[in-house]
Structure 1
Amino acid sequence: MLDKTLRMNYLFDFYHSLLTEKQRNYMSYYYLDDLSLGEIADEYDVSRQAVYDNIRRTEAMLEEYEQKLRLLEKFETRRSLLAELRKAIASDQAVEACNSLIDRIEKLD
């Protein structure tokens, strides 16, 4: 399982276009630029609590998008299967193993 920051970064990468500009900015400052709540609050002339609440609501929205669309889950599965495929190519039974992995990748979508 990914740690929270890495997971949020992935979710933000996948779903940022579904967020408002303010949500994108807060999340970008907090997770990508590693700004504190206070620094973000100063930038937007709002309270730290307002920034905190917005970030928590946005995190919940990103998790909800992931539950419905499963883009991160599919990405992780695809990455894992590709690693297996690379390993299978180097094995003695490469053709059968590769065909099996290709079938599993095709069934993802």
Structure 2
Amino acid sequence: MLEKTTRINFLYDFYQALLTEKQRSYMEMYYLEDLSLGEISETYNVSRQAIYDNIRRTEQMLEGYEEKLNLYKKFQERQTLLEKATSLMNSEQYSELKTILDKISDIE
């Protein structure tokens, strides 16, 4: 569950501008503020089921955006390569460092 929550939070960070205000609000309350479905439903005076359905649909939308745009995947690849680059730099392996930096440039 924590892994899913982390992934959804990252996807939300990348794609929130593509969501409606209501979708953003529900996602922020549920994932960022850690409110329950009941608490959110009381705030908006709608059923828990309506909140649940909206959040699930929004999660599917975020996954769909990721399938098409791969912003999170590219972010993860860059992070991995940057960690390797830092390690190589610290151990003064500069030729390998250049290779890693070239790979980072190629991700875009």
TM-score, scaled to structure 1: 0.95
**C-alpha displacement of 1:91:** 2.1
- SS state of the match for residue 46, structure 1? coil
Q: Would you identify which runs of 4 or more consecutive aligned residues in structure 1 move more than 2 Å?
A: none
| Partner Cα separation in structure 1 for residue 60 and residue 52 of structure 2 | 12
| Partner Cα separation in structure 2 for residue 42 and residue 90 of structure 1 | 53
Q: Which residue number in structure 1 is paired with residue 68 of structure 2?
A: 68
Identity among equivalent pairs (%): 54
| Partner Cα separation in structure 2 for residue 65 and residue 108 of structure 1 | 18
Q: Is the helix fraction higher in 1 or 2?
A: 2
- Tell me the alpha carbon deviations over residues 39-73 of structure 1, each in whole angstroms, 9 at most, x when there is no partner: 00000000000000000000000000001110100
Does residue 45 in structure 1 map to residue 40 in structure 2?
Answer: no
Q: Which residue number in structure 2 is paired with residue 81 of structure 1?
A: 81
Q: Which amino acid aligns with 2:84?
A: E
- Tell me the alpha carbon deviations over residues 76-105 of structure 1, each in whole angstroms, 9 at most, x when there is no partner: 11011000000001224x221111001110
Mapping 1:3-82, distance limit 5 Å: 3-82=3-82
| Partner Cα separation in structure 1 for residue 57 and residue 96 of structure 2 | 44
Gap regions ≥5 residues in structure 1: none
Does residue 106 in structure 1 map to residue 105 in structure 2?
Answer: yes
- SS state of the match for residue 107, structure 2? coil
Q: Which amino acid aligns with 1:75?
A: F
Gap regions ≥5 residues in structure 2: none
